[in-house]
Structure 1
């Protein structure tokens, strides 16, 4: 079904004006407005043809009205495309009733059952507007109900020319049945679409609550340790006059705790930005060798304390086309994980292979490795439970998730090869050119 919609352009039309800056509820209302406008265009074309075939009274006046309404519906789609949503909705709720008023006054009267559509259109503003727009909801609801009551109790049958199809009572009854069935179809379609998107809103709320709980968990647990360490050492330095060796130890621990807190906060902020679609991507040519060295220098203290040796086998310069801030965050996370899960006095090796279109950068450690389930969760972009490093280091579980999303945003990929107790090799593929 999606493929059919894409081929005939309906999917594109339904999503006119929908962008990442809109919240989900507003996006749903814009899509519903587009859907009603599209249905209005199709139904007006349909009835223009049927009126000509059936010989409806004042058919050419009605066709001119249909043409005008089709033009307005097309303009409403254009307004949504230009993100003028409020004007588009207000114009829509008044335009949908125009052909019904004219067809009931100058053509069919209360024959054919066209005035039943007023009941359908009385419900339209409830799915198009929010509660804050209750004035428009009540106005359109009351107006359409008054039209329905007028034609139901005070309307007169249409006068049809002898010899036309509409002169036959059975054809008039067919039009009435068609009106009832069409009304039910329109209500079912709009409500189904509304329910579908309501389900999307519920799922989004569940996901948002899960993210909120995860953020609170990270703030409560993963930042508590390093901040507590900083507080202890600062208290020690404030209350005593340490000798040089004690001072160096305290400063080293403060530096480690600061780096750890910074990495946790940066991952948390990048993850939140990505979830809210607010991470800007700035692609440019950068020297990957320099970025790699900078990421290594930031984590040098952690590596030295654990006795980790670096083997960086990269040429200088090593040019790639990506976002420097994002790739720096990715490398810091991958290097931090390599140190965390390596055994003391281990080795982290960084190599590259340059191809015609891409550069493959590999980070290899001989640490505790990962299970097949963890690798599968990384590939699916799912966070997995936090694992402890070889010396009890704790992480947030967000690092690789943030890396995967950031690489995808830049047109990069990540491949993980690992097995338990046999180390890990992570290869990121980065474009050489636009």
Structure 2
């Protein structure tokens, strides 16, 4: 179905004017406005043809009105593209009622049931206006309801020329049936689309609440512990003068704790920025070996304390076309995890080679590995609980999720292969300069 809609260009029409800066609720209203405008254009073209075939009274005047209405509805789509959403909706709710008013006044009268559409348009403002625009909702609702009541109870039947299709009662009844079915179909379509997007909004709210809880959990547990450790050690230094060896050991531990806290904060900020779509990608030609060297320097103390050795096979001339901060974050997270889940005195290999239009970088460790369930969550991009490292290191469970999102933002990709108690292999692909 989605493929068919894409081929017909309908999805593109419905998303005219929808930008990443709009909230989900506002985007839904713009899409519904586009849907009503597109249906209005289609209906006016359809009825213009029917009126000519059926010999409707004053069909030339009605077709001229249809042309004006179609032009106005196209202008509504243009206003959405330009971001003038309120003006677009105001013009829309008045424009869609115009042909119905004239067809029920100068052409069909109360015959054919065209005035039934006023009931449908009475509910349209409820789905395209926000609660803050309640006076517009009330005005349009009362206007269309008033039109319906007038034509239902005070309208007169149309006068049709003998010999035309509309002179026959059964054809008039067919028009009436078509009006009823069309109204119900359009209302069902609006309601279905509205309910579908309400469901999307509810899921988005659930996701946001889940993210909020995750952030508070990280702040409460993963940051409070390291910060408490640093505070205690600094308090110890201010009240006593330790021996030189104790001081060096304590400073190393302080440095390691600081690095871990920094990584947690960095992951948290990158994750939040990406989730709120505030991440800015500024790609340029970068030296992969230089970024890798800077990353290893940051993780040097962490690796040395566990006796982790590096096996690096990356050319000095290897380059990628990426955002420097994003790429550094990806490498830091992958290598930090490799250290965390490797056994003491383990080995981590890093190699890079050109594959098609990408630089493929492979990271291999012989650590604890991952279960199939955990691996499937990572592949699907789902949140998962982070386990402790081999010597009790803590994590947020955000590292690989951040990596996947940052790589996707740059046009790259990430693959994970792992077996419990065997190790983990991660392959990332970084784009090259065009």
In the alignment, structure 1 residue 395 sits paired with structure 2 residue 398? no
Unaligned runs of 5+ in 2: none
In the alignment, structure 1 residue 306 sits paired with structure 2 residue 306? yes
Counterpart Cα distance in 2 of 1:99 and 1:183: 15
Question: What secondary structure is seen at the aligned counterpart in 1 of 2:351?
Answer: strand
Pairing 1:202-217 to 2, within 5 Å after superposition: 202-217=202-217
Deviations 1:264-314 (CA, angstroms, capped at 9, x unpaired): 111111112222222222221100101001111111111112222222222
Match of 2:220 in 1: 220
Counterpart Cα distance in 1 of 2:138 and 2:222: 51
Match of 2:252 in 1: 252
Counterpart Cα distance in 1 of 2:68 and 2:216: 55
Shift of the 44–356 alpha-carbon distance from structure 1 to 2, 3 Å rule, reads closer
Match of 1:188 in 2: 188
Shift of 1:316: 1.5
Match of 1:232 in 2: 232
TM-score by length of 1: 0.97
Match of 2:384 in 1: 384
Counterpart Cα distance in 1 of 2:15 and 2:372: 39
How many residues align? The count is 434
Shift of 1:245: 2.8
Match of 2:320 in 1: 320
Question: What secondary structure is seen at the aligned counterpart in 2 of 1:312?
Answer: strand
TM-score by length of 2: 0.97
In the alignment, structure 1 residue 423 sits paired with structure 2 residue 423? yes
Shift of 1:246: 3.0
Match of 2:345 in 1: 345
Match of 2:102 in 1: 102
Pairing 1:98-137 to 2, within 5 Å after superposition: 98-137=98-137
Question: What secondary structure is seen at the aligned counterpart in 2 of 1:223?
Answer: helix
Shift of 1:181: 1.1
Counterpart Cα distance in 2 of 1:160 and 1:189: 33
In the alignment, structure 1 residue 148 sits paired with structure 2 residue 115? no
Match of 1:31 in 2: 31
Question: What secondary structure is seen at the aligned counterpart in 1 of 2:160?
Answer: coil
Q: Which moved more, 1:304-313 or 1:210-219?
A: 304-313
Question: What secondary structure is seen at the aligned counterpart in 1 of 2:326?
Answer: helix
Counterpart Cα distance in 2 of 1:350 and 1:174: 74
Unaligned runs of 5+ in 1: none
Counterpart Cα distance in 2 of 1:356 and 1:7: 29
Question: What secondary structure is seen at the aligned counterpart in 2 of 1:385?
Answer: coil
Q: Which moved more, 1:358-367 or 1:131-140?
A: 358-367
Q: Which moved more, 1:248-257 or 1:43-52?
A: 248-257
In the alignment, structure 1 residue 375 sits paired with structure 2 residue 375? yes
Match of 1:335 in 2: 335
Counterpart Cα distance in 2 of 1:200 and 1:355: 39
Counterpart Cα distance in 1 of 2:248 and 2:75: 71
Moved over 6 A (4+): none
Shift of 1:356: 4.8
Q: Which moved more, 1:39-48 or 1:351-360?
A: 351-360
Match of 2:57 in 1: 57
Match of 1:362 in 2: 362
Deviations 1:321-371 (CA, angstroms, capped at 9, x unpaired): 111111100010011111111111222222222345222212222211222
Deviations 1:379-421 (CA, angstroms, capped at 9, x unpaired): 1112222111110111111101111111111121222222111
Deviations 1:87-108 (CA, angstroms, capped at 9, x unpaired): 1111101111010111111111
Match of 1:68 in 2: 68
Match of 2:8 in 1: 8
Match of 2:198 in 1: 198
Q: Which moved more, 1:8-17 or 1:301-310?
A: 301-310
Counterpart Cα distance in 1 of 2:418 and 2:112: 71
Question: What secondary structure is seen at the aligned counterpart in 2 of 1:277?
Answer: coil
Deviations 1:63-104 (CA, angstroms, capped at 9, x unpaired): 000011011111111111222111111110111101011111
Pairing 1:269-284 to 2, within 5 Å after superposition: 269-284=269-284
Counterpart Cα distance in 1 of 2:251 and 2:82: 56
